[in-house]
Amino acid sequence: MQHRIIPQPNLLDYTDGICPAERAVPVVETDEAMPPEGYALAVRPDGVTVRCKTPQGLFYAKQTLSMLQNENGSLPCVSIQDAPRFAYRAFMLDSARHMQTIDEIKRYIDVAARFKMNVFHWHLSDDQGFRIECERFPKLNEVGSFRDGHGFGSSDTSRYGGFYTKAEIRDIVSYCADRFIRVIPEIDMPGHTKAILASYPSLSCRETPIAVETQAGVFRDILCAGKEEVVSFCCDLLDEVCELFPDEWVHIGGDEAPKNRWRQCDCCKDRMAKAHLDSFEALQGDFMNRIAAHLRTKGKRAVAWNESLKSGCLDGDVIIADWMDRDKLCPARANAGGEIIAEDFFHYYLDYPYAMTPLKKVYTFDPLPEGLTEMGRPGVIGVETPLWTEFIEDFEKLCKMAFPRLLAVAERDWTYEENCDYADFRRRAEESRPWLQSQGVVMDPQSAWDPKGLSRLKKLLAHYKKTLTRDMLLSFFSKKDD
Ligand code: ACM
Ligand code: ZN
């Protein structure tokens, strides 16, 4: 027997018979012994029973039932006991480089919810745009939400931008809550802040006016970590952001922050002396800790990209987003009791072509980093799949990049290794096509899912194994292959 359920349930047995459509209405029984997101499903010829502890468990049982259903509404008789491998099953969307409409974001959320993901990490501030309506700092919208040009290699220099209103953001948060999805906003700092600095130049070390960035990359102009004014700005901004996002976690970035400006800045050096910090990386740790401390006073926890661990002094309760951890600081953090989200660049970044990250590579990757001890393993709380949009301007391309790879991540998030089977997953992904199409989501044909590597790309990856940066790959993909 074959079904088209994604993610594959962790325990599924077929029993004899069919439950006709008129009897396929589930009777729900609350079972306090079930795991919070788990459910048990019994489909018999005379009816359907769902056992679960929470409304979230019931929601997942319903997703499974809708994928089990035959075209005439009948159900094959089965017994399912299911619960996720990871508690944190996330998708990240970059709405800073290119924006999506609220309707498009809802469609993306609908797909993620169907495949039992439960966290939406929303990247809303970067060098190329600030995307949240802000009353306390109006220039973030007047200046920081717009750039002169679509950018990223395009010759179109017309004004591009906008921001999501508070009402739109509340609508998305409530839409997600109805689907048991948490929303974690990201305000990236101290790097990736050119849109903020274009709005308020006094927040930089040099205070020189700059424009909102129009190209992809990592830029030297970042927030000054020495001025008290910057810390208060970030805390005030986060206060306003937190009013919109009720989730307990807030992502404060911390990736790709070059220290060139800090090295030349008296304010930064004064802070280092005052706080007894022995390096500019430690200054970043100090900065992140000050912001995390403010969030703590509001009952919130900070999430940060793994570069912030280089400081050696990041507070232990900051959750680490592990995207490119060359120094292997993430397993050490988990082994010491910290929490890690696995979002490996080479496997889970959906904005790179299938030639670099084929479906099979996504699916067969073990999300647990090497070097975890038995004690450290539960520190990896889940998996996240980011989608950056420097080179993704429209929803059609976004969908092609995301699907079916996001489905592969959703399965690896939920299903234990021993129940994962790539060939069977490919078949089920293909069988998801009609439902995805009904949501306006178009996938490329199966022949595009596992292409042979591009010759130039293979050479690049082999040559720069240890030193490859996102910048180099972005520039590679803006050129044509030979
Ligand atoms: C990142 O990709 N810079 C987190
Ligand atoms: Zn400075």
Q: Give the DSSP letter of residue 141.
A: H
CA of 424 to the centre of ligand 1 (A): 32
For position 478, what pLDDT does the model report? 57
For position 445, what pLDDT does the model report? 93
Task: Judge if the beta carbon of residue 391 lies within 6 A of ligand 1.
Answer: no
Taken in order 97, 101, 106, 111, the sign of the CA dihedral is negative
Q: Give the DSSP letter of residue 356.
A: T
CA of 190 to the centre of ligand 1 (A): 13
Which of these, 219, 221, 94, 98, lies nearest to 151 by C-alpha position?
98
For position 320, what pLDDT does the model report? 98
CA distances from 69 to 2, 38, 126, 274 (A): 12, 20, 43, 65
Task: Judge if the beta carbon of residue 470 lies within 6 A of ligand 1.
Answer: yes
188-208 pLDDT, tens per residue?
999 999 999 999 999 999 999
Q: What secondary structure does DSSP assign to 18-32, as a single string?
A: EE-GGG-PEEEEE-T
Enumerate domains of the chain plus CATH numbers: 11-82 (3.30.379.10), 89-421+435-443+458-468 (3.20.20.80)
For position 466, what pLDDT does the model report? 64
CA distances from 134 to 138, 214, 248, 383, 412 (A): 6, 22, 20, 31, 37
For position 1, what pLDDT does the model report? 82
CB-count exposure of residue 191 (10 Å: 0-12, 13-18, 19+): buried
Which of these, 135, 189, 199, 191, lies nearest to 161 by C-alpha position?
199
For position 400, what pLDDT does the model report? 95
3 state SS for 412-478: HHHCCHHHCCHHHHHHHHHHCHHHHHHCCCCCCCHHHCCCCCCHHHHHHHHHCCCCCCHHHHHHHHC
For position 480, what pLDDT does the model report? 43
Q: Helix (H) and strand (E) counts for the chain?
A: 18, 17
Which residue among 186, 188, 255, 389 is best mutated to probe the pocket of ligand 1, counting the most ligand atoms within 8 A of its Cβ? 255
> Contact at 8 Å (CB) between 102 and 394?
no
How many angstroms separate the first and last alpha carbons of the chain?
45
Max CA separation in the chain (angstroms): 77
For position 155, what pLDDT does the model report? 83
Q: Single out the catalytic residue among 82, 126, 247, 344.
A: 126
For position 481, what pLDDT does the model report? 39
For residue 319, the cross-strand partners are: 303
For position 407, what pLDDT does the model report? 98
Atom of ligand 1 nearest to the CA of 388: 2
Task: Judge if the beta carbon of residue 349 lies within 6 A of ligand 1.
Answer: no
Decide if 192 is catalytic.
yes
Which of these, 221, 234, 235, lies nearest to 191 by C-alpha position?
221
Which residue among 303, 323, 390 is best mutated to probe the pocket of ligand 1, counting the most ligand atoms within 8 A of its Cβ? 323
Which residue's C-alpha comes closest to atom 1 of ligand 1? 255
Task: Judge if the beta carbon of residue 305 lies within 6 A of ligand 1.
Answer: yes
The single-letter code of the amino acid at 469 is T
Atom of ligand 1 nearest to the CA of 349: 2
Low-confidence spans in the chain with pLDDT less than 50: 480-482
- Give dist(CA 481, CA 468) in Å, integer: 18
Decide if 127 is catalytic.
no
Decide if 270 is catalytic.
no
